[in-house]
Chains A and B, each alone.
Chain A
């Protein structure tokens, strides 16, 4: 089955810096890669996703890149703000629905003012 590894587990940056979180997956048939953000004590929420037919997707300060050959994808956050502090989860699936998503282990991002 699919296995998703996520790094780093913890990431501390200064406000205004960029942050990059990386994930690798094992199933070459996976073709859907969402990212969820979970603020402290709150529910996970989808922030951005990418399909395998796209190499990069941007939404304001966040972007996701996908390298299908190397089987890895990354979340990039530019001009980080304290409200970006949260746990971020990557996930991968074969486009068979949410229940088939395999989540990474999460990255705790701390943005210091």
Chain B
């Protein structure tokens, strides 16, 4: 009964590969997000989707392509992986996209590019 679940938890891959991270929430929330947490623990938003529609794209390289097949899922596909993409990627969801809402995070995916 995990609220926000993302897979895989760990991902080790070579430079130049393409990989995907999946995220699902069972909270009935309308809004989902992808955050990147670098080695210094800095949390930075990448994308935000509301009801399957992209509402935020924070100057992320177009090698990163989010896909939301329905409002309960938000997947992240990364093409041509680079060393600098190594980080922990967190999926999150919130009830709505306006107002002071609480976000519920997934457990994170630690991506290591070698």
Q: Which residues of A contact B (CB under 8 A)?
A: 32, 34, 38, 42-46, 49, 51, 87, 89, 93, 95-99, 101, 103, 105-106, 108
Contact = CB atoms under 8 A, between A and B. Distances in A.
B79 to A, nearest CB: 23
Interface in B55-114: 55-56, 90, 92, 94, 96-103, 105-108
Interface string B28-59: 00010100000011111100100000011000
Nearest to B92: A98
Given A43-B106, A95-B99, A105 B40 contact: yes
B41 A43 contact: no
Contacts of B45: 99, 101
Contact of B31 (A34, A42, A98, A103): A98
Contacts of B55: 99
A68 to B, nearest CB: 16
Q: Closest 7 A-B residue pairs measured CB to CB? A: A99-B48, A43-B105, A32-B100, A97-B97, A103-B43, A106-B41, A99-B56
Nearest to A46: B102
Contacts of A38: 41
B108 A97 contact: no
A87 B43 CA distance: 11
Nearest to B33: A99
Contacts of B97: 97-99
Contacts of A99: 31, 33, 45, 48, 55-56, 97
27 contacts: A43-B107, A44-B43, A44-B90, A46-B103, A49-B100, A49-B102, A51-B100, A87-B41, A95-B98, A95-B100, A97-B31, A97-B48, A97-B94, A97-B97, A97-B101, A98-B31, A98-B94, A99-B45, A99-B56, A99-B97, A103-B43, A103-B44, A105-B40, A106-B41, A106-B42, A106-B43, A108-B41
